[in-house]
Amino acid sequence: MTSTVPALGTRTAEGSALQGVLLDMDGTLVDTEGFWWDAEVEVFATLGHALDEAWRDVVVGGPMTRSAGFLIEATGADITLPELTVLLNDGFEDRISRSLPLMPGAEALLAELRAHSMPMALVSASHRRIIDRVLGSIGAHHFELTVAGDEVSRTKPHPDPYLLAARGLGVEPARCAVIEDTATGVAAAEAAGCRVVAVPSVAPIPAAEGRTVVPSLEHVNLPFLQGLMTL
């Protein structure tokens, strides 16, 4: 699946000001944030370094270049960023090949949105190789397009991935609902001008203007997302 599609003009779900739903992947649709941390701990252990648990909140939700770069600097490990990126992706892929649990409510939400022909895009800081593996479990058919972190010049927390996704769907960012689990992703979506639903996975996220916080996707459905456009 490619990261962009031709814009075919603005599309809306019938009777709703909501034009599209843009969803994060790790920690939002699939329960994998812990997989990334486990892979990081394992790789750095082989390099002779123990990771501080407090660093988990620093690296969660970030692009590979930021999280891996932080860990190299924090530990002083003798490894380059490209070398570490390969090892982390390999470790993560190994874990998702054994188990890939969906987050509570994810399957039902995707099915409901698809049943009502709501345009959807998957927007992740993970690399394309990871997204394509995970899509086999989530269901690639749910999404008109996907955006990977290694396919944009600036990924989250910059707005670029969400602006690209909205443009690809042919919808207005302000009429999109974004579902995210980390502060990094929330910052990207808000910078793009989208309405945000935060479903915190590792670190808490406070409510704010234009942002709604819920404990799980089981609290999110199409009428809920449509209601965000009236706030």
Each residue's pLDDT tens digit, 172-225: 999 999 999 999 999 999 999 999 999 998 889 998 988 999 999 999 999 999
Bridge partners of 20, per DSSP, are 176
Decide if 27 contacts 124 (C-beta within 8 A): no
Mean pLDDT of 74-96: 92
User: What distance in Å separates the CA atoms of residue 31 and residue 196, rounded to the nearest whole number?
Assistant: 20
Question: Mean pLDDT in the chain?
Answer: 89
Top-confidence residue, 61 or 48:
48
Q: What percent of the chain has pLDDT over 70?
A: 92
User: What distance in Å separates the CA atoms of residue 121 and residue 20, rounded to the nearest whole number?
Assistant: 8
Look at strands 195-198 and 211-213 and give their pairing. parallel
Is the predicted pLDDT of residue 46 greater than 90, yes or no?
yes
Decide if 130 contacts 66 (C-beta within 8 A): no
User: What distance in Å separates the CA atoms of residue 155 and residue 60, rounded to the nearest whole number?
Assistant: 14
Q: What's the pLDDT score for residue 3?
A: 39
pTM, entire model: 0.79
Question: Residue with structure tokens 């209601």?
Answer: 227
Mean pLDDT of 125-154: 93
Is the predicted pLDDT of residue 66 greater than 70, yes or no?
yes
CA proximity to 35, closest of 93, 83, 112? 93
In this prediction, residue 5 has a pLDDT band, given cuts at 50, 70 and 90, of: very low
Q: What's the pLDDT score for residue 15?
A: 46
